Amino acid sequence: MTEGSGEVGGESTIGQATGRAAVLAWGSWDWAAAAFNAVILTFVFSVYLTDKVGKDLPGGISASSWLGWALGAAGLVVAVTAPVSGQWFDATAKRKLSLGVLTAVTVVLMAGMFFVREDYHYLWVGLTLLAVGSTCFELAHVPYNSMLRQVSTPATVGRVSGFGWSMGYFGGIILLLICYFGFIAGKGDTRGLFGLPIDDGLNIRLVAVLAAVWFAAFAVPLFLVVPEVPRTQADPGAAVPGRSFLRSYRILFRDVRELWHADRRTVGFLVASAIFRDGLAGVFTFGAILAVRVYGIADADVLLFGIAANVVAALGAVVAGRFDDRLGPKAVIVVSLLGMIVFGGFLLVVSGPLMFWIFGLLLTVFVGPAQASARSFLARLAAPGREGQLFGLYATTGRAVSFLAPTLFGFFVWAFDAERAGIIGLLLVLIVGLMLLLPVRGDDLRGR
């Protein structure tokens, strides 16, 4: 039996549609993307912007607020453009080309962060690079997620998707370890095994360059191995270059109307999951900033927390998978969101590095299960032949509200003049998502 061409022990093999090499190449992009997610957006560069570059920012508005608003603006751009870009990618059969362009632009912007010096005058340059980079990075997930169907079959899509998710977690762990020991660990005027000077933030700026190289290098296998989608299934009314910008939205609303009449439960879940997934993303985006600015964790040590957070989130997702099969995905999501809300509430009142380590890790252990079971919930709901449409809407709705968590984080930091208050904004997003999920029926999805 050739690789990926049949069944072993009665079960479809992962990636039988195109072979294991394509699955590995597809997952390598998630491994590569950890450079932006873990290093730039979450644990290193964003912390450098708020704690070092914007430390003496005048005007009464903190750098954390500006960061929240910059990422909120990026999310709004993604919300407006994702439906258009997604249909263009499908209608023109240029998913791989589009992913390549968006990946390349993101890498260039990451490399440009080297020029953001430790001076508040450079804050606006850093925020602009981060916001535009975040926009391109989020839009890149539209063609990337669409490729999932190209490297899997209906019987293996969950495992292939989970493999990609785990690649992202573990890629982040490896790269954060390299950044910590090579560039950041230690005290004094030089840091890491390379003895890099910290003057003008040079060691952190070099980390941005390393992250750019990592992203570029490990993204390459996808473009060499994964085939382009054939130009055969495009919606004849879809948006393509030269047609009306608004046409894609008419198609989107048409699809939603059809789904609303056919299965309102699915629509309800799409809305609820879009909101609580934004809250999950906000926890990782702003967790490192809070660790440094509120709980007194050293800049270097926050990377160790990031590594630990990735490990517990990944392990949480693996363990919760068993409960997902036994109790159903809704139970896992509800328990996970409740756990995050409870431990997030504790973080509002506790202080000090030890308390952040305890309650921060207890909170992040629920992130992986919520993410994995949200995808499982929709996979179980999808009727045969409509999986692609639903996961397309899943991606679009998630992007459509991706400005909520960063905007509310920035608002509460500004309103209370305290970084700690940003936690309230994140908790509100999780609470609203949970409230919208509760009425969605899920008891019949066990084993389905």
Determine the pLDDT at residue 433. 95
Determine the pLDDT at residue 260. 82
Q: How many CA atoms lie within 13 A of 161 on its CB side?
A: 22
Determine the pLDDT at residue 16. 44
Determine the pLDDT at residue 383. 64
Furthest C-alpha separation in the chain: 68
Determine the pLDDT at residue 105. 98
DSSP three-state, residue 152: coil
In DSSP terms, 197 is beta-bridged to 190
Determine the pLDDT at residue 13. 40
Determine the pLDDT at residue 158. 55
Quickly count: other Cβ atoms within 10 Å of residue 250's Cβ: 12
Q: What's the CA gap between 197 and 234, in Å, rounded?
A: 53
Q: Are 440 and 268 in contact (CB under 8 A)?
A: yes
Tell me, yes or no, if the pTM score tops 0.85: no
Which amino acid, one-letter code, is at 291?
A
DSSP three-state, residue 12: strand
Determine the pLDDT at residue 354. 92
Q: Give all domains of the chain, ordered by start, each with its CATH number.
A: 17-226+245-445 (1.20.1250.20)
What residues of the chain score a pLDDT lower than 70? 1-18, 83-84, 86-93, 149, 153-162, 229-246, 248, 252, 321, 382-392, 395-396, 399, 444-448
Determine the pLDDT at residue 324. 76
